[in-house]
Amino acid sequence: MAYAFKQSSDVPAQVRAIALEQVDDALGVIERGGNFDETVHAVRRNCKKVRGLLRLVRPCCDDYAAENQAIRAVAEGLSVARDAAVMIDSFDALVGFGGERVAGDAAAAVQSLRLKLAARETHLRRQMGEDELLHTARERLEAVRKRIKTWTLDERGFDVLAPGLEKAYAKFRKGLAKIKKQPSDTAVHEWRKAAKYHWYHVRLLKPAAPLVLGPLAEGLDRLGDALGEHNNFAVLGDWIRTATLGDEQTGDVLLALADGRKAYLLAEALTMGRQFSVERPSAMTARFEHYWDLLVRER
pLDDT category at 1 given cuts 50, 70, 90 is low
pLDDT digits 0-9 by tens, 204-218: 999 999 999 999 999
Distance between CA atoms of 276 and 196, rounded to whole angstroms? 13
pLDDT digits 0-9 by tens, 30-53: 999 889 989 999 999 999 999 999
pLDDT digits 0-9 by tens, 282-297: 999 999 999 999 997 7
Give the mean pLDDT of 140-156: 94
Distance between CA atoms of 150 and 145, rounded to whole angstroms? 10
Distance between CA atoms of 49 and 19, rounded to whole angstroms? 8
pLDDT digits 0-9 by tens, 84-112: 889 999 999 999 998 888 887 788 899 99
Kindly tell me if the per-residue pLDDT of 299 is higher than 60: no
Kindly tell me if the per-residue pLDDT of 81 is higher than 80: no
pLDDT digits 0-9 by tens, 240-265: 999 987 788 889 999 999 999 999 99
Q: Are 208 and 292 in contact (CB under 8 A)?
A: yes
Distance between CA atoms of 196 and 217, rounded to whole angstroms? 10
pLDDT category at 225 given cuts 50, 70, 90 is very high
Q: How far is CA 126 from the centre of its chain?
A: 26
Q: How far is CA 131 from the centre of its chain?
A: 24
Domain locations in the chain as residue ranges: 11-292
pLDDT value of residue 137: 96
pLDDT value of residue 99: 85
The angle that helices 36-57 and 162-181 make with each other, rounded to 10 degrees, is 110
Give the mean pLDDT of 113-127: 89
Q: Which of 174, 166, 172, 200 has its CA nearest to residue 288?
A: 166
Distance between CA atoms of 53 and 51, rounded to whole angstroms? 5
Q: Are 82 and 42 in contact (CB under 8 A)?
A: no
pLDDT value of residue 114: 94
Q: Are 227 and 195 in contact (CB under 8 A)?
A: yes
